Amino acid sequence: MADSGGSGSTASTILQAKETFEIIQEISRLLNTGLDTETLAICVRLCESGVNPEALASVIRELRRESAAVKAGESNH
Amino acid sequence: MPVSHQNALREDGKSNLNVGGTSNNNDMSDGMASGTTSAALVYKLCSHIIGLSSDVLTPSYQLALRTLSCISTAAIESDEFEVSEKIKKRLVKEKKEEDAVRFAELHQKLKGSIVLKNRWAVLCFLYNLTGLSNKYQTKNGPHGFCFAKFTMTSPLRNVGFTNTSKSYSNQQSRAVSTGKSLCTRTGSEKMVFTSLPSSYQLTHSGGSVDQGHGNLTDSGNGSVCSNSSSSRVAHMAALFSDREKLEGILVPVTTKKVISSQVQKQGSRTSNELGVPLLPESILLREVLFAFQGIDGKFIKMQPGKDKFHIDSKAGICGQVRRQLLRLTELGWMYNKVDKFCESQSYNKTLGLVGQSFVAALQEELSEYYRLLAVLESQLHNDVSTEGTYVSTRSGSLTLHQLVVWTLDPFVRMKQLAALIDSCHGQKGGALASTLYSYLHHADPSIHGLVRHVLSVVVQPIYKMLSHWIFSGELEDMYHEFFVAVNPSVPNTSLWHEKYSLRKTMVPSFLSLSQAKKVLCTGKAINFLRMVCHDHTSVRPRDEQTVRADASTESLFNQDQDSDFQRLLEAIYKETSCHVLKSMFAHYKFTDHLLAMRRYLLLGQGDFIRHLMDLLHEELPKSANMLYLHNLSGILESAIRATNAQFDSPDILQRLDVRLLEASVGDSGWDVFSLDYHVDGPIGTVFTPQCMNAYLRLFNALWRSKRMEYILSGMWQAQMTYSRLLRTLPGVLPILHYCHFILSEMVHFVQQVQYYITFEVMECSWAELQQKVVSADDLDQLIAAHEAFLDCIITRALLDEQSKDVMTQLCAIYDLISKFQDIQTEFWQQGLDEIAANKALESQVNAKTEMGKWGVTEAELEVRRQKQLEFKKKTVPTTKAQLCVLASSYQDMVQKFLLMIADHTDPNLRFLSFRLDFNEHYKSRNSRLQTSFTYQHRRRYVK
């Protein structure tokens, strides 16, 4: 999962990756993070590459707010 | 790592963007790095979430990048276990136990898979994004205070933001500007409120979620801010899962309840009575902490004129809080007092060691106090600076009430210290220790402990000085604090008596006066040995260290329970005194000298004195200025050699000497002659010059009475020899009889008086002295015994001031005796002349008859007869008359003397009067003597 551009992994690996991702998704759901699949995927990849998770979380929040603001602006028009 | 990535990014320029999902960002992608780099991912993230065209995206993107790169994390546990625990806890807190269990299962599964490399990062990320749980986990202190406080508006905005990151502040300011919930209203003060952090965290950790919720609450409350809109709410709701929405809806109900209660409190607490907005608690706390150190804060200042703290009346503090603050500032006042005292004393140069140790003890207490203040301040600081972190709610941040409780003990201690300072003002040395000791008897154990500690510190210099003094006799007392004072100008000869004295004011009250005296004596003894006896042997063979371990400073003032010190003192005292006495007796032969005094100066050695008198008999009647000392010394020497005195030790005999007193006009040798005994060195300590004076006076009196005895015995001898001869002369017989009569009276009198002085006065006192000398504990006692002996003798020998009359009377009697002697001798002379003349005539007659001539011519016979007649007619009557006069005056004098001593307070003298008048010879002639000497009659004679 960490390297989608990597070599053709065996099916088991892909399966494992998928499983893992599902687990993470479930956890995310339990914790009520509000992350959709794609965002979660990107974030996991970022975390794996060594980004500071707290910083990343704050960025997410920021972006969400931004988007909310934008959408609010849009919807107002 | 993100930084390096970014740098790599910039350097790289172009690279493939292998990004799934939306890819309408080719413009951007040209400047972007290759596919799966972090930057690209970030870009993707941004675009995905916001979903806009790239140019709008840029600022966000850049912001995101910056955030990721420049945020330094503070103390994030890279411990997966901890994070998972945290997650579980949070879930449990939200009462989602099943979720927690589920999470645990999932976590286990995750651990099982090897796909993820950085599990903890993911978990951490997810954890940080969890939304709703802590929103309403406000810090409920036991007081409604906290709620009240954070609903207050504050005149202080933007006080001390301690945020580290710009994004945070941006977020916060955005939150503020949107002006949403009650939280945001107080958002500006969040830095100041200690109760706020958690509630604020809720607002911002959820980010947009909270905003959404804030919206919801507002809408629930009705106090909707302008910026919110229902549309946004809807959008927000759409963003989340159903479940979240449910929760979101659930939430406003609870918040409504909370908020309503807050609103109620808010009504009473927004401002104080004057309508001034109330100050937040942490400001007050800060002020109070300043006051504890005696520093003026912004609102609580020390009033310059009066000696108290004053709270600015314009400050936003309500009455009850004001009173509480004033109570707290009392501690600051106490602290001020103690601190000022310490400072002032540190400039006092004459403070002395005891005072300095007192200040040191106070400063120890103050440093304890500082420690407490430091703890309080750090706690206050921590509370303030925990704004804006992710740390979960802090319990136990500072409030005024807590402060009151925590400062209770220091308050009591500080009060006690202030009381101590007040009472010890201006004292030093032992007096200071005494004052502190009086505070020791306190029932409260903490106060007792405090005073005990201070006292033990204060007593240390005293103890040191004391031990130094009693062990080595040295006084190290620069500031005159010790109770033994030394007078350095005193020479060694009077070292014992005058050099060292007791400074009574400095004797601490826990030492009794007898102990202080013992201390003084011990040190004096050591010095005495060293200086006067030149005996440098150490009195203490034992090692000083072992002795020091016997008694501690505490035992000095703890003598009720702990007799270490007393034992130590006794031991040292005994040892030292024994040593001194031993040296006196053995080395300097004190007893020998004492005995010599008795024998020579007090006429104890009878044969020597008698012989001396015999020898001096011709010399002394000469007038005083004709006497030569060397003559007399020669006579003395011969007297010594001839009698038993020669067997005395030569040292003693050397000291014996003749001394001629000051001669006034008309004095004969008898009046100026005296013996003398030289004393020096350690003996001189006991035989002080005053003592020697007393001895000389005694010698004088005794010598005089001895002389009377001598005279009378001489007269008696003469009487025996001459009366037979002179009996033949006509008319002489009555005179002879009369003389005999007078003589025997006088003899009786003098004998009785001698007996009295020798046996009743001297022997008794001497026996007492001997006993005391043997049983003396130290030199002081020896000296005292000796002086008592001398005093006693002098008083009873009628030599002191009170008995002056009696003494004069006695002297007058003695004078009469000498006069009698003169008359007698003259009479003998005349009588003997007469007889000699008769005899001569007879012999002449005989001779002439032998020669065949007439025995005696008529003329010679006539001469002879004339002479005889003259003798009969003149000499005899005159002598008789003289004798009569003498006898009568003698009678009077003796009677007067008897009266005097019969009334005397000393019973021995009264007995003397009885003895003198044993056959009532005088009583029959004197009516006054006849009245009985009962109490009543005596009272009449009281002078």
Q: Is B180 on the interface with A (CB under 8 A)?
A: no
Per the rule left: phi > 0, alpha: psi between -120 and 50, beta: everything else, B659 is beta
Three-state SS at B302: strand
Q: Please tell me what DSSP assigns to residue B90.
A: H
Q: Which amino acid is at B745?
A: E
Q: Give the pairing of strands B656-660 and B673-677.
A: antiparallel
Contact between B118 and A24 using a beta-carbon 8 Å cutoff: no
Chain A residue whose CA is closest to B124 = A53
Contact between B46 and A63 using a beta-carbon 8 Å cutoff: yes
Are the C-beta atoms of residues B599 and B605 closer than 8 Å to each other?
Answer: yes
Q: Which amino acid is at B96?
A: K
Query: What is the DSSP secondary-structure string of B870-931?
Result: HIIIIIHHHHHHHHHHHHHHHHHHHHHHHHHHHT-S-HHHHHHHHHHTTT-TTGGG-HHHHS
Contact between A59 and B67 using a beta-carbon 8 Å cutoff: yes
Are the C-beta atoms of residues A33 and B130 closer than 8 Å to each other?
Answer: yes
Q: Is B921 on the interface with A (CB under 8 A)?
A: no
Are the C-beta atoms of residues B524 and B494 closer than 8 Å to each other?
Answer: no
Nearest residue, CB atoms, A53 vs list B114, B124, B167 = B124
Q: Is B174 on the interface with A (CB under 8 A)?
A: yes
Chain B residue numbers with beta carbons less than 8 Å from the beta carbon of A16 are 113-115
Residues 38-77 of B with CB under 8 A from A: 38, 41-42, 44-46, 48-52, 56, 60, 63-64, 67-68, 71, 73, 76
Give which of A25, A37, A65 to mutate to test B binding, by max B Cβ within 10 Å: A65
H helix intervals, A1-77: 11-30, 37-48, 53-76
Helix (H) or strand (E) holding B673: strand B673-677
Distance CA B237, CA B209 (A): 9
Pull the structure tokens for residue B363. 């400063």
In this structure, the number of other CB atoms found within 10 A of the CB of residue B203 comes to 27
H helix intervals, B666-731: 669-672, 683-686, 689-726
Contact between B129 and A35 using a beta-carbon 8 Å cutoff: yes
Distance CA B578, CA B565 (A): 20
Spatial CA neighbour of B459 closest among B486, B440, B442, B446: B440
Contact between B68 and A51 using a beta-carbon 8 Å cutoff: yes
Q: What are the strands, taking DSSP E only, across B467-509?
A: 484-486, 500-502
Distance CA B593, CA B609 (A): 18
Are the C-beta atoms of residues B742 and B820 closer than 8 Å to each other?
Answer: yes
Chain A residue numbers with beta carbons less than 8 Å from the beta carbon of B239 are 34, 64, 68
Three-state SS at B49: helix
Residues 277-316 of B with CB under 8 A from A: none
Torsion sign (Cα): B100, B106, B111, B116: negative
Give which of A36, A38, A62, A70 to mutate to test B binding, by max B Cβ within 10 Å: A62
Q: What is the pLDDT of residue B767?
A: 92
Q: Which residue would you say has higher pLDDT here, B264 or A52?
A: A52
Q: Hunting for tokens 């914790």 — which residue is that? A: A31
Chain B residue whose CA is closest to A27 = B103
Distance CA B443, CA B555 (A): 20
Chain A residue whose CA is closest to B76 = A54
Three-state SS at A2: coil
Angle at B734 between CA B732 and CA B737, to 5 degrees: 105
Give the distance from CA B722 to its chain's centroid: 83
Helix (H) or strand (E) holding B630: helix B629-642
Q: Which amino acid is at B339?
A: D
H helix intervals, B500-600: 513-531, 544-548, 553-557, 564-582, 590-596
Three-state SS at B311: strand
Contact between A51 and B127 using a beta-carbon 8 Å cutoff: no
Angle at B135 between CA B132 and CA B140, to 5 degrees: 150
**How far B220 CA sits from the closest chain A CA (Å)?**
20
Nearest residue, CB atoms, A26 vs list B1, B106, B117 = B106
Q: What is the pLDDT of residue B78?
A: 63
Q: CB-based contacts of A77: which residues, under 8 Å, 6+ apart? A: none
Chain A residue numbers with beta carbons less than 8 Å from the beta carbon of B45 are 39, 42-43, 46, 59-60, 63
Spatial CA neighbour of B752 closest among B908, B933, B584, B881: B908
Distance CA B804, CA B929 (A): 21
In this structure, the number of other CB atoms found within 10 A of the CB of residue B737 comes to 11
Chain A residue numbers with beta carbons less than 8 Å from the beta carbon of B229 are 72, 76
Q: Hunting for tokens 């977020």 — which residue is that? A: B171
Residue A30 has pLDDT above 50, yes or no: yes
Give which of A37, A56, A70, A77 to mutate to test B binding, by max B Cβ within 10 Å: A56
Three-state SS at B726: helix
Q: What is the pLDDT of residue B779?
A: 85
**How far A4 CA sits from the closest chain B CA (Å)?**
8
- For chains A and B, CB pairs below 8 A equal 217
Give which of B80, B85, B129 to mutate to test A binding, by max A Cβ within 10 Å: B129
Pull the structure tokens for residue B874. 């003149």
Three-state SS at B25: coil
Q: CB-based contacts of B863: which residues, under 8 Å, 6+ apart? A: none
Are the C-beta atoms of residues B184 and B191 closer than 8 Å to each other?
Answer: no
Q: Is B231 on the interface with A (CB under 8 A)?
A: yes
Q: What is the pLDDT of residues B138-168, one digit of tens each?
A: 333 333 333 333 333 333 333 333 333 344 4
**How far A16 CA sits from the closest chain B CA (Å)?**
7
Q: Give the pairing of strands B656-660 and B309-311.
A: unpaired
**How far B191 CA sits from the closest chain A CA (Å)?**
20
Q: What is the pLDDT of residue B544?
A: 56
| B819 φ/ψ angles, rounded to the nearest 5 degrees | -65, -40
Query: ipTM, 2 decimals?
Result: 0.82
**How far B283 CA sits from the closest chain A CA (Å)?**
31
Give the distance from CA B799 to its chain's centroid: 47
Distance CA B153, CA B230 (A): 27
Query: What is the DSSP secondary-structure string of B350-383?
Result: T-HHHHHHHHHHHHHHHHHHHHHHHHHHHHHHHH
Distance CA A48, CA B119 (A): 8
- From residue B584, how far is each of B373, B496, B602 by CA, in Å? 65, 13, 22
Q: Give the pairing of strands B484-486 and B300-302.
A: unpaired
Spatial CA neighbour of B467 closest among B431, B526, B519, B517: B519
Q: What is the pLDDT of residue B938?
A: 55
| B163 φ/ψ angles, rounded to the nearest 5 degrees | -70, 150
Q: Hunting for tokens 């103050």 — which residue is that? A: B366
Per-run averaged pLDDT (10 residues), chain B, 943 residues: 45 37 39 54 74 65 70 57 83 81 84 74 81 41 36 37 39 41 38 36 38 38 38 44 41 41 43 63 78 78 71 73 81 85 83 86 89 84 59 54 84 89 83 87 87 88 85 82 84 80 85 88 86 69 52 73 82 87 84 87 86 86 80 87 84 84 76 84 83 88 89 88 79 83 88 87 90 87 90 86 84 89 86 82 82 73 80 81 88 85 79 81 74 57 48
Chain A residue whose CA is closest to B74 = A54
Spatial CA neighbour of B508 closest among B570, B462, B439, B573: B462
Chain B residue numbers with beta carbons less than 8 Å from the beta carbon of A54 are 71, 73, 76, 124-125, 128, 390
Q: Which amino acid is at B794?
A: I
Give the distance from CA B762 to its chain's centroid: 47
Pull the structure tokens for residue B565. 């010190």
**How far B390 CA sits from the closest chain A CA (Å)?**
10
Are the C-beta atoms of residues B565 and B468 closer than 8 Å to each other?
Answer: no
